[in-house]
Amino acid sequence: MQTISREDYLKAILKIEEESGTVSNQALVEKLSTRPASVTNMLHTLADAGWVEHLAYKGVHLTQTGKAIALSTLRKHRLWEVFLVEKLNFNWDEVHQWAEDLEHVGDEELTNRLDAFLDHPAFDPHGDPIPTAQGQWSDGRNLLPASQADVGDRIQLKGVVNSGEAFLQHLNRLGIKLGLTLEVLQALEFDGSKTLKWPDGTEASLSKQTLQNMLIERVEIKSNKR
């Protein structure tokens, strides 16, 4: 049985809290692919540890301590992902599971040394911001989903909404990776798809679904648009 650590629960609660404000057991069941009873159980454990406040039937939220632990774990996870991609040459779709294990190894000291060794990266291989040792993680950037880009824009991929293996591999097959700049040639109103042009001149059409999961920055906005 693959067990889910207390820290994994904290990370999940943190993410759900950010996405949707309120954290239901159901949401945790889905995010962690587990069972309702397991969630209730773990929430008791976390509450006993003082890491969350839990009101039965009313949801859960992180305490200061809980949030600090969640951010620290996220920091470790993302730093290890950088290590795996930058140093061991894994692809961005291959690193999540190993990082899930690595994040439970080492203390703050080890993490800070890893951070220094990696030259204090600000973002992980999926473009997600890496919290600092002080638990700050303001993502200064203002990214938008590629689905909101206009015809004529030149856009650069800076992150993904969904960093599941399947989606990342889909991007791999399309030759899309972080930092790639694309030009929006055409937008189809009826299905939300867009035709994009690669730096090498090839063109392809991406579905609305795919575009919504790509977080981009506009690098150049077509001049005749405001």
Partner DNA sequence: GACATTTTTTAGTCTTGGCTAAAAATAGAC
Partner DNA sequence: GTCTATTTTTAGCCAAGACTAAAAAATGTC
Which spans of this chain sit near DNA (rule: CB under 7 A)? 1, 3-6, 24-26, 29, 34-45, 54, 56-57, 59
Q: Which does 151 bind (CB under 5 to 8 A by kind): DNA, its own copies, none?
A: none
Nearer to DNA, 60 or 85 (CB): 60
Angle between helices 6-20 and 64-82 in degrees, nearest 10: 100
Q: Is 133 in the site for its own copies (CB under 8 A)?
A: no
Query: At closest approach, how far in Å is the CB of 96 from DNA?
Result: 17
90 binds, among DNA, its own copies, none (CB under 5 to 8 A by kind): its own copies
Contacts of residue 21, Cβ cutoff 8 Å, sequence gap at least 6: none
Shortest Cβ 89–its own copies spacing (Å): 7
177 binds, among its own copies, DNA, none (CB under 5 to 8 A by kind): none
In order, the DSSP letters of 65-107 are HHHHHHHHHHHHHHHHHHIIIIIT---TTSSHHHHHHHTTSS-
Q: Write down the least CB distance from residue 50 to its own copies, Å.
A: 21
- Radius of gyration of the chain from its Cα atoms, rounded to whole angstroms: 20
Q: Cβ distance 39 to 4 under 8 Å?
A: no
Positions 91 through 120 that interact with its own copies (CB under 8 A): 98, 101-102, 104-106, 110, 113-114, 117
Nearer to its own copies, 114 or 187 (CB): 114
Residue 202 to residue 119: CA distance in whole angstroms = 35
Q: Site for its own copies (CB under 8 A): how many residues? A: 15
Planar angle of CA 41, 43, 46, nearest 5 degrees: 115
Interacting span for its own copies (CB under 8 A) from 13-21, 33-41, 81-89, 169-177: 81-89
As a 3-state breakdown, the chain gives helix, strand, coil percent values, each rounded to 5, of 40, 20, 40
Q: How far apart are CA 145 and CA 194, in angstroms?
A: 13
Enumerate binding residues for its own copies (CB under 8 A).
84, 87-90, 98, 101-102, 104-106, 110, 113-114, 117
